[in-house]
Structures are given as structure tokens and as C-alpha cells.
Structure 1
Amino acid sequence: MTYKQIKWMILFIPTITVGIWEYVRHQFLLPYISMDLGNWLTPVLVYLVSVTLLNRLFHMLERIQQELQTERTANAALEAREHLAKELHDGIAQSVFLLSVKVDRLEFTSDQAKYDKDIFQIRKTVHEVNRYVRQAIANLRYAATEETMVLQKETLSEKVKQIAEEVLVPIEVEWSIPDELLTPKEKVELLASIREAVVNIQKHAQATKGWIKGELAVNRVGWNAQIIDNGIGFKGDLNQLGDSYGLLIMQERAKEMNWEFRIFSENGYSVVELRHLEANMDRQPG
């Protein structure tokens, strides 16, 4: 029996039952059943039909709905696998192949300068593979729909606090950027950048304290996110990131998302800043 047939039967069975009962009662049972007794028997009859026949139909309806939900879940899982396979092929597999080619070339390189350059490229490719892996995982967690964010029931502020707790350095979080101001993809990229900056604090900054601050841009539509620490600061030209692969990846990510990316020192503190000042007015919370 189909879903549609069950629904129609649930609608019509009580009506048909009452109609048949009233016809039989008035045509054949009036000499034996009084009007008042017949009026009392009508709801009793409907109740008996409901707890017997209709109850079975409701169970059938629930079973069909569960099967549909299971099928939807299976389809969603299949789509997620296909998406992950595409991510692995387009990003990781190609990068690993490129990495193997560069390693093979090193065996025949006698030029030290070219050797150092190739080593730099290999290291960068490894970090890019790491980025692709993180991106693939993040894409599975944040399917590009707001529905997924709602189902997860975790705000961007909560995610940032989770990142802050991943390292040993105590990091305070001051976050006031509304979730509605960012798209799911922007949230993924922003969280990945914040995590990269926080890991750098743990690995390189020798800091005793850190801060993650996120706020709306002053008098403008957009937002400003800063990762601050009281560590040893950045060495060399801040405009030339050199072999700081994590920062290079952050810079590339910011460029792809059309964000402003800055690294600077201020009053003895090191600051990594991401800004977006051209957000859509319609997405700003009222």
C-alpha cells in the first residue's frame, strides 16, 4: 500500500464508518436502540475503529516515513562521499603526484640553489595538502547550506572557543560577529585561518597569553577578526613571509575570499588580522 493510499484511508474510514452506522441505525435498529443510546454508541464505534484499523494504518505510515528518512540519509551520505572523492582527486591526489615528481627530480639535482628552491616548493606543497585535507573535512562538517549549521547547533563563537582550547597557551575569546553575516564557506575559511594562527602561537611565538577578537567593522558593513599574542613577535620583513608556510596559506585563503590580511606588531603584541569590509548589507543583522 502506498503512502498516498494510506493517507486517504485514514481520512475516509472514520467518515464511511459513521455514515454506514447511522444508516443501519436509522433503517433497522430504531426499534431496538433508542436515539440517546445510538448517539452514545457512535463515538464508541469510531473509537474502536480508530484503535484497531486506523492504528495499524498509522504504524504503516510511520514505517514508510522511516524508510524514506533512511533513504534520504543514505543519499546524503553518498553525496558526501562523492564530494569528498572530488576533493581528494582535485586537491590532494594531484598535489601528492606533483610532490612525487619534485622528489624524483631532486635525485638528479646538483645545483644547490635549485635544490633549496625545490625543497621549499616541496614543503609548500605538503602544507597545501594539509590545507586540502582540512578543507575536505571542513566541507563535510559545513555542507554549503545554512541547514547544516542549524543541525549542528553550534555558533561561530562556540567553534572559535573550541579552537582556543586546542592549544596549551591560554587564549581569551572576545567574539561578537553575528553568524548571519558570514556564509557557510566564509565560516569554514575563517575558522581554518584562526586555527592556523592559533597553532602558530603554540609552535613559534613562545607566548604566555593570546587573544582572539571578532567584531563588526566600525561604522561600516563587515567584520574584523584578530589573533593576538604576547610572544617574541615576527622576524624579518612582515611583507615577505618567506618559508612561513602556514601564513602563506592564510594569505592565499584571504585573497581567495577577498579579505584583507595583515600581520603587524603593536605595543609589544603580535597581531594577525583578517578583515572583510564589503559584506552584503542584506546580511547584516537588524
Structure 2
Amino acid sequence: MPITQMKWIAAIVPAICIGLFEFARHEYLQVISMNWGNVLVAILTGIIFFLFSHGIFALMENLYGKLQQEKQETAVLQERSRIARNLHDSIAQSLFFMNVKIMDIEKACKNGQQPWSAITDLREAIRFTDTELRQHIFALQTVAADDNINLIAAMQNHLHQYEVQTGTKVNLAVTCATPNPFNSYERKQLFHIFQELLFNIRKHAAATQVNVSLNENSEAFTLTIADNGKGFVAADNLRKKNSFGYKLLEQDIKSIKADLKLTSSPGTGTTVTVTKNKKKELFS
């Protein structure tokens, strides 16, 4: 039932019922005293209110159930999209590279040349793909299946596994008053952004140390990730917003209305800061 119809029914039905009862009482039920008439009106009003509110709450429960179902379906689609883009960015490209190297090996063998250079490249590509695939599997396993993901605890666990897998030294500083700032969707998106940034460091930065800071105050939650890697010319990188990976990261940032700040220069590492303003009405 449309909301407009519900508003009209809520305004008109009780008035009509009480009006009809008063008319009948005055025209045909004179034996009922004023006091008893008032009591009957109160009872009638209560019955109408109970029946109407029961219907309204039943409708709201039905709508809430549909909303939760759509929310779960949307979350599944988002995860599928994320998996697809990760596979596109790394695994698919690695497989294409390996196929090229196999053709180089075949060509070298046919021409009586040494294929060792191509074999070395192929071995390195296989090792890289194995590491990438394990990283993707770990990232998928880390995401909580329920809506009550503990953001800080999940980040701490991910950093521990990241340090074990990559050998990179990780320093973590946490100054947060609450373990679960923001609603479930925002927490999951922040965690995905956190994973993506670490993944990019492992893939591109060649860093030996990563410093992560989680800071929360009355106005905002700030995630800062700094590495000592090779860095890049930040201005040039920001011009390349047509890259698939950057666009998807930017979409994740915008989906929770957060801000992204990137500072880098060749040889000095990179610092990325994600700031999410806090709104009390969005807290879970």
C-alpha cells in the first residue's frame, strides 16, 4: 500500500468510525448516558488504533524483511565485482604474461636458441601469481560473514597476516574510543579500502616497513598508511585516473563519503590518508 494512501486512511478512518458511533448514540441509543458514551468512544478509539497500528507494523516488518534481503543481495554483488576486478588486475594479467613467455620458449626451442631467460621470467610469474592468489584468498576469508564486523580487530588481524606473508615490518598505532565506528556497510567499505591500500603497497612499493595509524575523535575517523617504498610522482599518478584500479578505489571512497589524500615522491615512500567524518545518525 502506498504511503500516501496510508496517511489518508490513518486520518479519515478513525474520524469516520467515531463520527458514526456518535451519530448512532445520539439518534438511536439515547439510553446510553454521557459518561458511558465517553467510555465506549475511548474503547472504540483504542480498538481502531490497535487494528490500524497492527496492520502498519506488519507492513513495516514486511518492508524491512525485503530491505534486508535486497541488502544481502547487493553485498553479494559487490563482493563478486570486487573479486572480478582483483582477478582482472593481477591473475588475468599474470596468466597472459605467462602465455607470452611460453610462446617465447617454444620459439627459442624451434630456432635452436637458449630459452633460459624466458624460463626465468616464467618461473617468476608463476611465483608472483601464487602469491597473488593466496593474498586474494586471505582477503576473502578475512571479511566477516555477518554485519557486525569489528573494524579495528579485523585490521589488526589482517596486518598480522600481512606481516607474516610478506616479511614487511608493520607498526600499528590505535587511538580509537570505540571498536566499531560507523554502520556495518561503512565499516566493511573501510576495511576493503584498507585491504586495497596494503595490497597496492605489496604489489608496487617494494617497501620493507609499513606504519598504520587509526585515529578517532569526536568529528572523524582517520586511517593513515605510510610505507618506505620506492614512491612515485604523485601528481602524475593522480592524472592517471583512467586506470581501472584507481577508479574502483575512488568509487569505494566516495560510496561512504570519505576523503582520500595521497602524498608521495620517488625514493621517499608513500603516505595515504583516508578520512571519514562521523555522523551520529549513521552509528550502529
TM-score (norm 1): 0.52
Q: Aligned match of 1:188 in 187, 195, 200? A: 195
Q: Give how far 1:45 is off.
A: 1.2
Q: Give how far 1:35 is off.
A: 1.6
The answer for unaligned runs of 5 or more in structure 1 is 143-147, 202-210, 228-237, 240-252, 263-272
Q: Corresponding residue for 2:120?
A: 119
Asked if the contact 2:142–2:154 (Cα under 8 Å) also holds between the matched residues in 1, the reply is no
How many residue pairs match? The answer is 221
The answer for unaligned runs of 5 or more in structure 2 is 183-188, 215-221, 231-244, 250-261, 279-284
Q: 1:62/1:183 Cα in 2 relative to 1: closer, same or farther (>3 Å)?
A: closer
- Distance across 2 between alignment mates of 1:63 and 1:274: 52
Q: Corresponding residue for 2:151?
A: 155
State how 1:83-232 maps to structure 2 within 5 Å. Answer: 83-89=82-88, 91-109=90-108, 111-112=113-114, 115-120=116-121, 122-124=123-125, 126-127=127-128, 130-131=131-132, 134=135, 138=139, 153-156=149-152, 158-164=154-160, 167=164, 174-176=172-174, 187-192=194-199, 213-215=211-213, 223=224, 225=226
Asked if the contact 2:97–2:125 (Cα under 8 Å) also holds between the matched residues in 1, the reply is no
Residue by residue over 1:219-240, the C-alpha shift from the partner in whole angstroms, topping out at 9 and shown as x without a partner, is: xx9956479xxxxxxxxxx98x
Q: Corresponding residue for 1:233?
A: none
Residue by residue over 1:155-211, the C-alpha shift from the partner in whole angstroms, topping out at 9 and shown as x without a partner, is: 346512453268599x9964137799x976652234436889xxx99xxxxxxxxx9
- Distance across 2 between alignment mates of 1:73 and 1:3: 25
Bigger Rg, structure 1 or 2: 1
Runs (4+) of structure 1 exceeding 6 A deviation are 139-142, 177-180, 182-185, 193-196, 282-285
Q: Corresponding residue for 1:247?
A: none
- Distance across 1 between alignment mates of 2:57 and 2:191: 39
Q: Corresponding residue for 1:19?
A: 19
Q: 1:192/1:161 Cα in 2 relative to 1: closer, same or farther (>3 Å)?
A: same
Give the SS at the match of 2:150.
coil
Give the SS at the match of 1:214.
strand
Q: 1:101/1:193 Cα in 2 relative to 1: closer, same or farther (>3 Å)?
A: closer
Deviates more, 1:64-73 or 1:81-90: 81-90
Residue by residue over 1:111-140, the C-alpha shift from the partner in whole angstroms, topping out at 9 and shown as x without a partner, is: 44x523542355246525743774698599
Asked if the contact 1:213–1:225 (Cα under 8 Å) also holds between the matched residues in 2, the reply is yes
User: Residue type matched to 1:175 in 2?
Assistant: A
Asked if the contact 1:91–1:129 (Cα under 8 Å) also holds between the matched residues in 2, the reply is no
TM-score (norm 2): 0.52
Q: Corresponding residue for 2:80?
A: 81
Over the aligned positions, Cα root-mean-square deviation in angstroms equals 5.2
Q: 1:164/1:279 Cα in 2 relative to 1: closer, same or farther (>3 Å)?
A: closer
Asked if the contact 1:92–1:132 (Cα under 8 Å) also holds between the matched residues in 2, the reply is yes
Asked if the contact 1:96–1:129 (Cα under 8 Å) also holds between the matched residues in 2, the reply is no
Q: Corresponding residue for 1:35?
A: 34
State how 1:49-64 maps to structure 2 within 5 Å. Answer: 49-52=48-51, 54-64=53-63
- Distance across 2 between alignment mates of 1:15 and 1:127: 74
Residue 65 (structure 2) pairs with residue 66 (structure 1):
yes
Give the SS at the match of 2:108.
coil
Residue by residue over 1:22-79, the C-alpha shift from the partner in whole angstroms, topping out at 9 and shown as x without a partner, is: 33334443x2222222222222112222334542343134223322432343244235
